[in-house]
Amino acid sequence: MRLLPAALLGLLACGSEPVPAAGSLDGSVESHFDPPSGRTSSPTSPRSVGGEGECARVLVIFDRSGSMGLEWEGATLSGPRWRLAADAVEAVLGPVAERVEAGALLFPSGPRTDPRACAPVDPLDAQIPWRDGTAFLDAWRATFAGASVGGTTPLDAAFARADEALAAGGDTPTLVLVLTDGEPTCAEVPGAASRARDWAAAGVETWVVGLPGARGGLLLEDIAAAGGTSLLLIDTPEALTERLAEIVDETVQGACR
């Protein structure tokens, strides 16, 4: 199996999953946001990849825990973290949509039904399955048009679902982008770092990007190191868009030569 650089952005937790208080960093209170007219993040400058047809895949793993509903402090454009991060993904993938196939996993997929259990993460087929880049962006916009966030941060479960999705990829070069800001909860075996190490052995680089407020820096560093990269900590939506564009462009251009 030949997979090119993957950008995985996430957090890894140890121990059981706590029940956070309502309104806490990853509390159970859902946050809703109706974006104002116009964009909430700055698009990248025009980019292009020569040739025709899809030549790479992009898997987005996106944190929808309660803390993602908090304002992105210091951002030029106002809005919650999830809105600005989602806009950055759209801005980055737009210029290369005709050359990629993409899918997305949001975690958690919903609230816990049992306080002793982890928050669920649905498989890719139940979220935004693999599809051409243009169709993916349509589904991405629809998903976040009336999006809500809430719950904890089951990163290990999200990595497990990503492992399932990547296993069906064949030889198509694949890039994974994981965006998160919360304290990881509900550890599993194998964990995120172990899976990142396996992906690296198969040619997949794991990119770990922590949004403002991200906790567990040492765990993030462990995942990034296991995946063959270094931890990226992002301060502004503009920096997020710029850095992700660099990662996507390097991978897609390398795959589409």
**What tokens were used for 210?**
């922590």
How confident is the model at residue 60, as a pLDDT? 94
| Cα distances (angstroms) measured from residue 241 to each of 66, 97, 246 | 22, 16, 9
Close Cβ partners of 37 (under 8 Å, ≥ 6 residues apart): none
How confident is the model at residue 29, as a pLDDT? 38
Global pTM reads 0.81
User: Domain 58-255, what architecture?
Assistant: 3-Layer(aba) Sandwich (3.40)
* Domain locations along the chain: 58-255
How confident is the model at residue 50, as a pLDDT? 54
How confident is the model at residue 130, as a pLDDT? 94
Asked if 207 and 196 touch (Cβ cutoff 8 Å), the reply is no
Close Cβ partners of 182 (under 8 Å, ≥ 6 residues apart): 11, 25, 26, 63, 65, 66, 67, 68, 152, 153, 213, 214, 215
Radius of gyration of the chain (CA): 17
How confident is the model at residue 51, as a pLDDT? 58
Query: If the chain, 257 residues long, is cut into consecutive pieces of 10 residues, what is the mean pLDDT of each piece?
Result: 43 39 41 38 45 83 93 89 96 95 94 82 96 97 88 94 87 85 86 92 83 82 86 92 94 85
